[in-house]
Amino acid sequence: MKPSQATGPLAGIRVVDLTTVVLGPFATQVLGDMGADVVKVEAPGGDTTRQIGPSRTPGLGAYFANLNRNKRSIVLDLKRPAGRAALLRLLDGVDVLVHNMRLGAAERLGLDYPSLAARNPRLVHACATGFRPDSAWREAPA
């Protein structure tokens, strides 16, 4: 599927969104509002926030719909090799990756900056975590 002809200062910028809850989805929502082509990657079963807020459509609560407007989406199971391989192929052609997973999880999946920069040197890697990389809490969920 091809993205719509977006306008705005970020038109032509391609973003992969691996975020959940508020911080990441809000950041990528703003990028989409400014014209970027944002692809949200969801796990099988959908984002956990799909059930938050009132909804006329099951699985599409107001909270999720608002934070994920101006985005396309794809379901990938990153726990399976085929899902990880599909994500890496997707990342080869994008400008920006935004994620808010724990740093150790990103490293185990090969989604840390050094691993991805080797494949796509121009990739902007935006990682929002709850704790600093040198913190004893770096593996704790935020």
d(CA 44, CA 111): 19
Q: Going by C-beta distance under 8 Å and a sequence separation of 6 or more, which residues neighbour residue 89?
A: none
What distance in Å separates the CA atoms of residue 142 and residue 130, rounded to the nearest whole number?
A: 5
Q: Which two tokens stand for residue 107?
A: 């490293």
Tell me the pLDDT of the chain (142 aa) as tens digits. Answer: 455 577 899 999 999 999 998 889 999 999 999 999 999 999 999 888 888 888 888 888 888 988 999 999 999 999 999 999 999 999 999 999 999 988 888 999 999 999 999 999 999 999 988 888 888 887 777 6
Write out the two tokens for 82. Answer: 């085929």
CATH, domain range 14-127: 3.40.50.10540
pTM of the full structure? 0.89
Select from 100, 40, 44 the least CA-distant residue to 74: 40
**What pLDDT sits at residue 142?**
67
CB 61 within 8 A of CB 49: yes
Domain positions in the chain are 14-127
